[in-house]
Structure 1
């Protein structure tokens, strides 16, 4: 069996589907935007990283253009829905952005004109969220669980190879944990 190494990333950034940027000359990857609270991949409350602190986005002027920028930044398709009124649950702590106005072509939500806000300007009952269109990846044929007591548990294996015969390999479990 071939052992696959999981790419190194800073601890605490274990959420799936994070966009990443290089930080400084050390080349560390750091997440800029993430989705939290969604029941399915590609949906959730939008949270952004500012000054090493995660915070939410206020839903004032939140629209499909801004939601699509978030979805594409995270590697999904365009947005199916721009959600307001904390429909993906209320966040905690900071609220970093309000009145985000994207054209829809920006590469990052931070590139869109926005207002930096204070706690008096918005509340978590106004947290913005998204539902993204998910592109077909065929991942269900390249990832499997094996050796578990049911179909919902086991060792994670990925299909590797090509051109030529495909083989199943293991993922290194170092630094894995629960979310």
Structure 2
């Protein structure tokens, strides 16, 4: 897909400064309750963003690795997770009637695949997003590239949303010290082989 065509057909909503990505962001903390058996973890948004900035691979690199590995699948969601030692990208890929969970190590680029969930087991909204994506000529990798170019930043995550029955790619980008949300509407022409 030509990214320029995607951009021309896009409706773009950019929110400058959705959140400041500096040390003044309060900690997001999970504390273990006595006797619940959960491991206590304390991570601040600042820690997550520092891990993202230090990661060897970016989200576009992770998408490229995933595209080579998934062949006929489509990426429906991708996000950085800085809670692991080297950081990783978590992906949800739809293929063969299933949503497949995958992880890409942000240091080595190694990909591991996790559980598979039948698309039919998803909620109505998620099934509608998947069906719209499969009919659309738009790709997550194109939306991420456009969002990064628009904001001059690095994408942290990307996902799908429906707005007035229209599919949108929603990408969160770290631009300087700001987190920006970019919403892109893909072109309306259907993919080859779809109705």
- Using the size of structure 2 for normalisation, the TM-score is 0.21
Structure number with higher strand proportion: 2
Larger Rg: 1
With CA pairs under 8 Å and 6+ residues apart, which has the higher RCO, 1 or 2?
Answer: 2
Structure number with higher helix proportion: 2
